[in-house]
Structure formats: structure tokens, C-alpha cells
Structure 1
């Protein structure tokens, strides 16, 4: 008889494995305990940490506390007061609900809970070590609950050795407390590490005050309020102005029904709102609160509860993107404070160098002005036609001034933004006009590119190209956009095809179109050094005054940098 290989694990081993799904590191313990405090209705939460949480984590709250019976039961796995039946999973409104946190924490640490319900003479203290209750006794303590967790992973050395330094673990704990504190500005949060107070946020704050406590007053000075709603979904919060960007999503704080989450789709929606304003691989500061009915979001996705699934994700992403985009547009319209700073974009930067062409002179610019609607009076308050042209620097930058400001304008970035706005307006109005080629170009493509060309032939036609299949994987290019006439476009056409393929089903076709228009604009203007005549500069200024978002080129590089007279006098120690 073959001996059985499969055995049932001992309960204590199973508990340690299960704890690993909930308790990854000290920050996980802090998150679970503070969420329990929030669910208990606490108005004051204090977190004390020693040695990055490895030696001690203590969380105190003034919530409703627990009776002795409930306190003992709280250490049983899947014991919870938050859900009782299957239907409750469809409308979870509390931070916790699984009944896993406390038993998981207690199974890999030396834990103590002291709790008291208001009106009771004495509270209850329970000591648990390695998942086994060692003592239950009466205890004198204030109303609410205090949980101490010592020597985390003392019985799981394989987990303990993978913890980072005390400073690194403390940094993760700070992030967790910051998330929970931002989501609950009406609650007092205090975080200490040893003798150092890292956060002391007062109760009854508004969101902006709490954000100043966490992010700093300087960062919060230029934020843009965001508010939007639709179809039962509301979005509120704020995003950064153009001078605050990060190389990662560290500045993106997203809360769904007050729960901090990670969601790539929401990150993408935020970037779409900043389309053509942020450089590649840069992210803004964004603190966003999304509210929707509990039945429209599933929070029971991951043990850490940092991932959710939306019932209608595409609609929610659109609400978020539209709310941010409208806030940015309204800010630029209502508060033209003259702040022109570098923005960065997620649109891929073009790597193809194109031959030089001439800027339009005044008579051509006048005819092109008909393509534009009457737009802003300059960019962020700058009246370009009224600027005094001083000269050029290194044949690349235009130097000019007015009564109180000194300006440096990147002539290539300015021309690129103008070209982008012109062809974008042309495309969405009546399609880009094409120029028939005297000698058609033959283009060889791969099988994948052929499929993409076949499926997007109408889009390509609206962009001013005329292309026909010539058999197999060969195409004939018969016409190109007027702005590109006289130069080879086979490489650009392949880039456009890849752009459409890369966006594919994951986004709307408009997203791919705008990325393609950026490429067209970049191909249509000069790069490098070139001396400009005064008429060409005047023409450039006139066109800039008719362009929205002219403070940056389509790739996100700044068009204008300006200095006030006061700043210059201060630099030269005249003030």
C-alpha cells in the first residue's frame, strides 16, 4: 500500500502562513490596527513605534472599546462585527471586514490588548503570544482600546530576516499613517518614533489643512481644487500645478470611499487629464477622493485591501479625468497669475530629426489665424504681441521683456506648440488637408503593421495621408499632410501605425490621435539653431497669443521662462 504524502498542517503552522497574507511587515500591522480604530469610531488615534516597529507598535484610540467577551472573540480567526451574511459583501462600508487582522498579528508576535467600554468600571487586558492566549484579566484603562505588538515575527525567523532597516520600515509606516490621516482629516492623529514626534495632526481639520500637515505648506500653495460628479460617482480633492511633478506615483493619493488604494487605471486617467502637459514618466501631485455606492465597488480583492474592482471602471476613469482636466482649464482661465513653469508629458518623445523649414511671416500668420477660435489673451496672463523683442540667445532662444518681466522663449518649443494646436484644430474641424506626391513612396511593412494599417485606414486618411495596398505587405503612399510635403514620411507613417497599435483597445482612439498629432507637429518645425528676423518673431508672438496651454510644447518642455524685475534685482543684490 502506498503511503500517503499529503498531510493536514498543524494549526499553528497554518496560522503563521495565513498571517503572511495580512502581515507583511510592521506597516501592515499599523494599517490593520488603525483601520480597526477608525471602525470603532475613534476621534483620537496615537501610534507609537520603536525600532521601525520591529520592537514595539502601540496604537491607542478613544473609540467605543470592547466588552471582555468581544475582546476574547476578536482573537478568533474570521470573527468580526462588520459582516454577517453573504449580501453584506456587496455593500462593505467599513475599513475592515474579514476578521483576520488581530489573530494574524497575534500569531506572529507578542501582543496585548487593553480595552474598556464607556461606563464600565474596569476594562479588560488580554495577552497573546504566538497565537496562544496567556492571560485575561481586569485592567484599569481609559475608554477605548490600546493594542501593543512586540517582537514581530519572533517565531518566523524566515520573515524577520527579510525586513529592511529601521529607517526603511519606519518610512513605510509613515506612508500608511499619512494615507489614513489624509482620508480622515476630522480625526486627530499622532505618530511618534522613539522620542521623535513625526506627525501631530489636530482633529476637525479640513482636507487642505491636513494635507499641509503631511505634504508641507510650500507644496500646497499652488494646488488646484478638483470637483466633479456623474452617474452616482463624485470626485473631489486637488492636483498640483505645473511645477510639482515626480518620477513615480509617490505623489498620487487615491481614496475610494475613504479607503486608500492603488489602481493603474486611475493613474492612467490622471495622466490623460494632463495630456500634452506632462513629460514622459512624470506624475503630478494628486489627492483624490472618489465616492460611489458600496455595491459598485468590490473591496474584497486582496488581503491588504489596497486593490479594488469597479463595476464600471471606464465610466469612473472618465469622471476622474474630466474633473481634473476641467479644473486645470478653469484655473488657467480664471487665475492667469503669470506662473509659467516646466510641465512634463507621458507622450513618447520623437527621436527623428527633421530638416529645417522657415517660420511663417506675418501675412501667412494672418491667414492661419482664421483656424483658431478667439482664445486666451496670451499664455497664463502674458500678452505676447505687446512684448518688446530684445534679441536672440545662441540663435535658439528669444529674449524679450515688458514693463515688469523678463522672458526667455524657446523658439523651437513655441513653434512646435503652435503647429500642434493648428493641426489639431484642423483635424477635428474638417480633417487635415493632404498634398499629392509627385512620386509616390513605396512602403514595406511587417504583418502586424499591415494589419494595423488595414484597420486604421480611415483615421490615417483624416490625418492627410493617402495610402493604398500594393500587394502583400507593400503599400503605396500617394499623399501626405501639407505641412509635411517635401520630406520622406514612410518612417513617420510606421510610427503612427505603432502608436495606434499600442493604444489599441486599452484607450479611446482620441488618445492615439493626439499622440500622432504630436509627432506630426514635431516633424513640421525646425530644430537646432536659426537666426530669426524681427518679422518672424512678431509672427511667432502673434500665434502664441492665440494658443491654449502655450506654456509648454506638446512634449511638455517649457516654452517660456520668466523673471520679474524684483527677482532680478534680488539676484544682483540690489534689494
Structure 2
């Protein structure tokens, strides 16, 4: 039987690093939180090669003496917690005393710190958690922490790092969160000797959210008025329901200055919209919540991302109420004032609404009608269906050998275009139009990196994408049937689809892109129900004619037996 032994300090720190330091962005998070806890008014973050080669965080906080600097490298050594009672009143971002020694144990680490008013500072050099050198050093007041060759002694962890662009995007996203949480602090970010952004300390929360969103979307922000009660307060900003997205990555919530994730907060946001969102979508929001520390437990996750609320229903209801009030005020502000009726003026005669636009109003890309030569499953011939009418100008009503069939022309058009786009993109690029003025789209650093990762796939589909810097994407060309002003909405939907995959491949990206393009083109060039016969011929050349790319049925059949059951009849039975 193996003997139980106490782990050496260095090995224990490396084990702790596995929980605290998942990637370079995790190390940046911990070091920046230490800077903010030290009262920094300015934080500079510098990285090289996605943070794997170099991470340097410099601040102008209170600094440390020689003794404190050495103690900060010991496990569970902290100035932020004195006794167990302090766990119920945590007001700092860090408190465990594990971050610095854990990071030092898996890197080549250097710490330079100087207290305000001190003649000189202290420099400490470590390698793999082992102290190599301690000496005096000239330094401005504050602390500089340098991390080189992250995970150099843990190769299993290092090989799981993503591409440099991906890791850089995660670091930039983390810094943006801190910049939103601490609007009174100046944040500077340098990547590979190039300055990415420099946010002055005087910016308001609204200015920082608008900086993050971009000018166009930032104009649509809805202010959430400050709500107080039951030991908490809520304020922030929302975007209208039209900007709702899949997932919750676009919800930035800060509780007592800490970026957090919690299901009660997300439910409160949904309830505040009162069912005004499509199923599966979540509103975009930026909320700052202040709460009595005793009402929340932040010590439930190694990276402190998740929290446990003692009265989650109260916070959920407070958020829902604040959101409802904000949306109500915005509706009243935008509601047009009814003009006074002018005498002796008869109202204009309303024109009948056209449900179906004329065919061929939008030029679709030229693609071959023939499907690629390959063996396909045999489906019933479309000749088995006979068109007998239409329903509300939306569905084609058909008769089959077995009963009644409803055809959704738009879903059928999506399936046809989807399979043709897959075949076309794999063989050659689709026709494009160059934009006279490139369209700028500001989704954020992680989203830009995700799109650029599949730049060739987008190019095959007619989109030319370039990195514009600062979380902004430049679109220089689009497919022929696209309008430049629609690019941002379309790419946002594609980002959400790509985000469903943990690490989407080129084939996955092509599938999501073809699916979105088909949906877009089918809406713009919706076939009419009377075109059902021609549509059926093309539909049954597809591999899967009975469903749209998102799984919606193209055809729905009601058998004669089912109809007889519904009407309670007996088929050919005579009536007495």
C-alpha cells in the first residue's frame, strides 16, 4: 500500500496552479486584481506571443517592503484576510494568497516592488518556484510582476495552449472586463510592442461600455436606473431586444467590483424583458451590483468566477424590476406624439399588404442547378404531390396519395440553397462585390479572432475580412446579394453559431456559414406558394429534402387516417 506523504511546497504550488492558472489570461486576471487591491490608479499590461513568452503587469499601487515581497511568494500568505470572520466580509478581489506562488511555480518569475516614499525597492527572481536572487533595485512606487515562459516546466499544460492570437484575445477580453469594473483606473495594454488601447482614468462607465461596443451600437444603449433595497443596489445599461444573442457571453455583470457569473442574474434579465425575446436568446447587458458582502459567498470557485448568493430570489427580482423600469422609460421616450388632426382632410386609403414579395427581386448567386454527382437516397417523386391551393399566402397546400401535405416554400428554399452553397464553397469561391467604403464591425477581440481563424472559409463564401485592431473587423467585400449595412447583424449570428463548437473546424465553420447564408437569401427572395411544383423538383434533388438546415420541416403530411380520426368519420362508411 502506498504511503501518505506531505507534498513539497513547489509541487503543491504547481498543483494549485492547475486550478488558478488555466491559461495566460488567468495569470493576467490574478495579477491585475492584486494591482487593483493595492490601490493602483494606473495598470499597464504587456504581453508577447499570446502571453506564453512574456506577461508583465506594472502598477502604481502601494507597493511592498522587502519582507512583504518575500512573504507574498509563500503559499496562503495574504494581507487581505486575518481570521475566519473575514470570509463573511470580503471586500477585495483576491484573498487566498495562492495566485502569486502558483504562477511563480510554473514560470520564470520576477517581482520588483517599492513602497511609496522608500529610497529603493526589492527585486526577487524565481525559476519554477525556487528563489534564485533577492536584491535591492531602483524602482518607482508600485509593483512590477514579470512572468516569462509560462508552463515551461509543465509541458503537458503548455501544449494545451491555443494559438497566440486566441490567447491574446482572451487576455484583451479579461482586461476589458477589469476596465469596465474599475472605471476610475487607467488601463494600458501592449501586445508584441504595439499599444492596443490606453483608457484614461476619467472615463465614465457609459463611455467605457460605448468604447467596448463601438459608436453605432453604443447609441442604442438603454440606461438602467439605480435601484436600492434589501442591502443591494443595481444599475447599468441594456441593449434593446433586437440585439439579443445566443449564450450569455455578452452579459457583463460586476458584483462589488468583481466580474461574476450567476444563473439568478441571467434569469432576472430575462424576466425583465417580460417574454419579449425569442426562445433561446439572451439580452445584452452591463450591470454593476453592490451588495453587502455577508449576502454573497465568493469563495466557491478556484478562479472566483462563480458566486453563491444567500438570497438569490431577491437579487433576481431586483434586476427584473430595474430592467422593466428601464425598458418602460425607453418605450415612453421613443413613443411618437400623435399630431392633432387637421380639419377637412380625409385619411388616405390603406393599400393592401403584400405578404409575398415578387420573385427575383434580389439577385442570388449563380450556382449550378445540378447537385454534385454522388449516390443519393431515393425519395418519392414530387409528381406524387398535386397543388390544390395556398394557406394565408404562406404555405402551399398539396394533395398526396396518403392525404394532405403543407409545404413551407421558405424552408424548402433554405434547404436548396444550403446544399448548393456547401457544394459551391468546396469547389470555388462565390461571386462577390467589393465595397467602396469598407464596413467596420466591432464584435470584440475574442469574436474577431474567431472569425479570422476561418478567414479562408469566409472568402470562399464571398466575405473578405481583415483585422482593423482594437476588437474591430473590416469587411471589404460581401456576396452579390448582400447589403453593406446588413453585414454586422449577419456576422453576429454567425459568431453565435460558431461559438457552439468548443474548437470549430473549417468544415463546421463552412456548415454554419452556409446555413446562415441560406436563411438570409431565403428571406430576401421568398418563393411564392404557386411556385410549389418547380420548387419541389429542386427540393427532391437535395440529400435531405424533408427538413431545412436548422431542422424545421419543409413538408408536413396529414394522413387520411389521421384526418378521419380528427373528424370522427369512418372513411367510406355510409350514413344511416
TM over 0.5: yes
1:303 is displaced (CA, Å) by 1.3
Q: Could you tell me whether the CA contact under 8 Å between 2:10 and 2:130 is conserved in 1?
A: no
1:55 paired residue number: 53
For residues 441-489 of structure 1, what are the alpha-carbon distances to aligned partners after superposition, in whole Å with 9 as ceiling and x for unaligned?
xxxxxxxxxxxxxxxxxxxxxxxxxxxxxxxxxxxxxxxxxxxxxxxxx
Hey, what's the Cα distance between the residues in 2 that align with 1:412 and 1:136?
A: 81
Against the structure 1 CA distance between its residues 93 and 276, is the aligned structure 2 distance closer, same or farther, given a 3 Å change threshold? same
Matched residue, 2:366 = none
Pairwise CA distance, 1:396: 8.8
Question: In the TM superposition, what are the counterparts of 1:119-268 in structure 2 within 5 Å?
Answer: 119-227=117-225, 228-268=227-267
Name the CA distance, whole Å, in 2 between partners of 1:231 and 1:394: 51
Partners in 2 of 1:392 and 1:169 — Cα distance?
52
Q: Which residue number corresponds to residue 433 of structure 2? A: none
Q: What is aligned with 2:290?
A: 291
Deviation at 1:242, TM superposition (A): 3.4
Provide the secondary structure at the position in 2 that maps to 1:48: strand
C-alpha separation in 1, matches of 2:249 and 2:66 = 42
Which residue in the other structure is 1:309 paired with? 308
Query: Which shifted more, 385-394 or 201-210?
Result: 385-394
* Counterpart selection for 2:87 from 89, 107, 116: 89
What SS does structure 1 have at the residue aligned with 2:135?
strand
| Equivalent position of 1:108 in the other structure | 106
Residues 255-310 of structure 1 show CA distances to partners (whole Å, capped at 9, x for unaligned) of: 11110001122112111212322112222220001111111111111111111111
How far apart are the structure 2 equivalents of 1:46 and 1:190? 5
Contact 2:120 2:139 in 1 (8 A): yes
Deviation at 1:212, TM superposition (A): 2.2
Contact preservation (8 Å) 2:105, 2:129: yes
SS at match of 1:19: helix
State the aligned residue count. Answer: 357
1:323 equivalent in structure 2: 322
In the alignment, what sits opposite 1:564? none
Root mean square deviation of aligned Cα: 2.4
Question: TM-score normalised to the size of structure 2?
Answer: 0.59
What SS does the corresponding residue of 1:391 show, helix, strand or coil?
A: coil
Q: Residue 391 in 1 paired to residue 389 in 2?
A: no
Q: 1:295 to 1:412 in 2, by over 3 A?
A: farther
SS in 1 for 2:351: strand
Q: How does 1:264-413 map to 2 (within 5 A)?
A: 264-336=263-335, 389-394=350-355
Give yes or no for contact 1:396–1:412 (8 Å, CA) kept in 2: no
Q: Deviations 1:231-255 (Å, cap 9, x if unpaired)?
A: 1211001000233222221210011
CA offset at residue 215 of structure 1?
A: 2.3
How far 1:391 sits from its partner (Å)? 2.5
Contact 1:115 1:123 in 2 (8 A): yes
Task: Give the Cα–Cα distance (whole angstroms) in 2 for the partners of residues 275 and 91 of structure 1.
Answer: 35
| 3-state secondary structure, aligned to 1:275 | coil
Q: 1:255 to 1:395 in 2, by over 3 A?
A: same
Alpha-carbon distance in 2 for matches of 1:395, 1:240? 31
Stretches of structure 2 that go unaligned for 5 or more consecutive residues are: 340-345, 359-391, 395-526, 530-576
Residue 144 of structure 1: CA displacement? 0.5
CA contact (8 A) 2:255 2:290 kept: yes
The superposition leaves residues 11-47 of structure 1 with CA deviations (integer Å, 9 ceiling, x where unpaired) of 3322211111111110010000000000000000000
Q: Distance between the aligned counterparts of 1:101 and 1:57, measured in 2?
A: 14
Q: Which runs of 5+ in 1 are unaligned?
A: 338-375, 379-384, 398-410, 414-527, 531-575
Query: Matched residues in 2 for 1:4 and 1:209: separation?
Result: 60
Alignment of 1:486-565 (within 5 A): none
The alpha-carbon deviation at position 412 of structure 1 amounts to 11
1:301 and 1:69 map into 2 onto residues whose CA distance is 31
Q: Deviations over 1:144-173 (max 9, x none)?
A: 010000000000011001111111111111
- CA change 1:141–1:280 in 2 (3 A) is same
Sort the Cα spacing of 1:46 and 1:390 in 2 relative to 1 into closer, same or farther, 3 A: same
